[in-house]
Amino acid sequence: MRLATVRTLEGTTRAVRVKDDQLLDLGAADLGELLADPGWAERAAAASEPATHLRGAAFAPVVPRPGKVVCVGLNYRNHILEMGRDLPEHPTLFAKYADALVGATDDVVRPPETDALDWEGELAVVIGAPVRRARGADAERAIAGFAVLNDVTCRDWQFRTREWLQGKTWEATTPLGPHLVTPDELPGGVRPVLPISTRVDGETVQEDSTGDLLFDPVALVEYVSTPATLRPGDVIATGTPGGVGHARTPPRYLQVGQTLTTEIGGLGRCENRVVADPVA
């Protein structure tokens, strides 16, 4: 199934199932609310009411207000090597706040405080059941599906200290969407093997396969759920492949007016224009 959160003309949001060219109303304000229902999958599969009033509606972030956005650094083998690091023994984790999220076609806001806004196309895992210290099949069952994410990063702020948070969670910088696609629709299921790419103004700057992940989605659910309970609607950003602007010689960064396109086969794409902060 393909599920999404869309914006209504009244300024609210609605959870829908995307079927062919139809949007089917799921009776919830957004996917976070839907996933909190233990029977969400059956409810979504049974949906049959076309939301004709939402035709052409814009996509909000798949989960607009996740309780947690846990990000993984250095998780593609080729990206680890291009950054001059050894393969890690454990995942590198950091957080991102919900205020950073934007929809699949929303603008990405370039903060005036940075001169080093970088791209990081990523596979996002969306949690569909509460789990703590999950292992094996429990971790697999906790995965509701996958979406496209770009962990747009202020590199100059990221590397001010050894902790990365301040470079990673600027408001309105992180596309998440357009759909949540359930594992049964993807090659590899809960360990999907999908082509992933990032383009800037049509030029391909990242291209890889999610099969190159060092720690796959199931392993990440196991690891992240050890210290903290993962709850429905939580998001894990699994890391980016090689080709980021910061690792280039000379470094290359996003500029106002450019279009950032993040695409994963089977999941769709986010296409976002970079704009100046309107209140700066």
Report the SS3 class of residue 233: coil
For 91-121, the pLDDT digits (tens) are 999 999 999 999 999 999 999 999 999 999 9
Pick the CATH number of 69-276 from 3.30.1490.20, 3.90.850.10, 3.20.20.330, 3.40.50.11290: 3.90.850.10
**Phi, psi angles (nearest 5°) of residue 16:** -140, 160
Its pTM stands at 0.96
What is 151-202 written as a DSSP string? --EEHHHHTTSS--HHHH--TT-EEEEEEEE-GGGSTTTTS---EEEEEETT
Q: Which of 69, 75, 71, 73 is nearest to 216 (CA)?
A: 75
Domain limits of the chain? Answer: 2-54, 69-276
For 25-80, the pLDDT digits (tens) are 999 999 999 999 999 999 999 998 888 778 778 999 999 999 999 999 989 987 77
